[in-house]
Chain A
Amino acid sequence: MARPPTDEDFADLVHAAWPSLYRTAYLLLGDAAEAEDLTQTALAKTYASWGRVREPAAARGYARTVLVNTATSWFRRRSWRNELPTETLPERAHPDATNDDRPVLLAALARLAPRQRAVVVLRFYDDLSVAERARALGVSEGTVKSQTSVALDRLRDVLGDSLLHPIDGTSEKGV
């Protein structure tokens, strides 16, 4: 890199990365205010390391990794709820997913333990591989696979088999 990244470079990063980071944060946390706080925190941490960024183009991935790691830390340090108290289970989704199923999906995600929610969001929304999720979450690839399998079983209870077909724990991508 010819010159160290500037504050203007960082502002460009914030504008470009904010929407997708926020959406990942929202799916991870299920709360708009928490998602905004998490995204701000992740980008602020990225800025604190900005002087060490060698390639600004890679900073977006760095920020996403920081976001996931920060969320994982929050889950542990904030006595994060393992799952939302659910007095009324959401209605099972229709076999053919429609926009009407979105609240059902959010409710189903909210019923997962934080790490299970993370492996699902990072796999099916951010399209991270098993190895990438293992690194991001600080667990082994075996743990990622097992947590994904458990999470999908729980989602299947709510969303139904057809919505998850052909996904199952054994069809987990390895790359």
Chain B
Amino acid sequence: MTEPLTRLLHDVGDDVTAPPPPTSAVLERGRHLRRRRTAVLSAGVSVAVVAVLTGALLLPGGGDDRAVDPVAPSGPTFDGVTFAVGDEVYLDGGETVVQIDDRAVKSLYYSSVGVVVRHGNDSASDGGGPQRFTLIRPDGTVSPASVETEETAHGVDPDQPYLAWAEAAGGGVEVVVHDVGTDTEVARVPVEGRFTWSPPPVALEGDTVYVGGRPGEDPAFLAVDWRTGEVTESERTGYFPQLTGERTVEYDREPTVVDVTSGEVLYTADGRDGFLTLSPDGRFVAETGFDERTFENLDATVVDLDTGAGLEMPGSDVGWSEGGQPFVVGGGEVTVCDGTSGDCLTEDVDLGTKRPQVQLGGRTYES
């Protein structure tokens, strides 16, 4: 308080007469905000619950042993709907906008300590140059991470504060696990072997980092216990060690969703041109395709893999909220849906530019 500017600012601030606290008005606005987040709108939204016509759904175990808890709260909400335009990250459907201190966001991961933003010189992943990271905590505060990688695909477990990746080292790689909450490296495990990609993509689940794939080897993936350093072969299958609630997408004759534990096929896309994207928790799959005559992308269908319910989204590019609900951004609107009930919420969002490059939360944007 000895600094003149501090003293002067306090003089000015303390001299301001604050009006009486409008407690009732604040409570009313707060309740309205809470209601708005949970209100369900269905009229006027070009979304409908539809039968699964474009795909063949196989319900595991008769389809009723993993039924949705009927007492669980349902309904779409903008909470956790995260997307980015350029260097700006829109939280909770755009209610809060946070600017990243970099040129462009590449992807947005959900973690137990907040949204992990991968960013760099542009929004591209392949050939996109250095990849830097920033944590946005639930209260909107921002913590840049002391991590920089290049040309590698990362893994994040939504229930943990860790970011995992592989770095080329000697004749193999090193698997690195970094705590983005404390910005400290917590593990670095050497892994021998040849991999199709150098360094190979990884996925993180619990204490295990899956590394893949190994050309000509069966199984193709390795499982690394990053706490003990033990490396074992993994029976995990798939094109990419993507982990989504023990489910993965395989591209053989046609794209399918497979339970990696049982090997059971849970969903088959309609034809080879379908593209499947799993929600981060593996409950839903979004199927997209394109019109062969116009080459335009078709609106996506989101399917609840537990119940078979499906809904058409008002757009082709589907992101996933922190809670695993599908959402789309386009035409000055953001629409989030309850993937089980099919109810949706839509509100206007100002993205600032006419044709923005939007990066959606819950998508890896890795090829």
| Chain A contact residues, CB within 8 Å of chain B | 7, 10-11, 14-15, 18-19, 22-24, 26-27, 36, 40-41, 43-48, 50, 52, 62, 65-66, 69-70, 72-73, 76-77, 97, 99, 101-102, 105-106, 120-121, 124-125, 127, 134-140, 143, 155, 159, 162-167
Contacts and interface: CB of A to CB of B under 8 A. Distances in A.
Contact of B88 (A10, A76, A143): A76
Given A72-B97, A77-B97, A97-B8, 11 more contacts: A14-B23, A18-B21, A27-B9, A27-B12, A44-B33, A48-B33, A97-B7, A124-B6, A136-B140, A165-B4, A167-B3
A108 to B, nearest CB: 10
Nearest to A136: B141
Contacts of B19: 22, 36
Given A106-B12, A138-B140, A15 B5 contact: no
B72 interface: no
Nearest to A45: B33
Contacts of B96: 69-70, 73
A18 B25 CA distance: 13
Query: Which 8 interchain pairs have the tightest Cβ spacing?
Result: A47-B30, A135-B141, A18-B21, A44-B29, A69-B140, A138-B142, A44-B30, A22-B18
B29 A40 contact: yes
Contacts, number: 146
B34 A48 contact: yes
B18 A124 contact: no
Nearest to A143: B101
Contacts of A44: 26, 29-30, 32-33
Interface in B1-42: 3-16, 18-19, 21-23, 25-27, 29-34, 37
A48 B30 contact: yes
B350 interface: yes
Contacts of B21: 14-15, 18-19
A26 B139 CA distance: 22
Nearest to A165: B4
A140 B65 CA distance: 49
Contacts of A52: 138
Contacts of A106: 12
Given A23-B16, A135-B142, A43 B5 contact: no
Contact of A76 (B29, B31, B97): B97
B3 A124 contact: yes
Contacts of A10: 27, 30
A101 B8 contact: yes
A167 B37 CA distance: 45
B76 to A, nearest CB: 16
B208 interface: no
Contacts of B13: 23-24, 26-27, 125
Contact of B31 (A47, A99, A101, A125): A47
Nearest to A164: B5
Nearest to B87: A138
A40 B22 contact: yes
Given A47-B33, A97-B8, A23 B18 contact: yes
A139 B88 CA distance: 11
Interface in B28-78: 29-34, 37
Contacts of B139: 62, 65-66, 69
Nearest to B29: A44
Contacts of B14: 23
Nearest to B25: A40
A138 B5 contact: no
Given A65-B140, A124-B6, A105 B23 contact: no
A5 to B, nearest CB: 12
A120 B5 CA distance: 9
B33 A102 contact: no
Interface string B274-294: 000000000000000000000
A140 B144 contact: yes
Given A11-B27, A45-B33, A50-B30, A163 B12 contact: no
Contacts of B10: 125
A19 B99 contact: no
A91 to B, nearest CB: 15
Interface string B338-367: 000000000000101000000000000000
A134 B144 CA distance: 9
Contacts of B32: 44
A139 B10 CA distance: 25
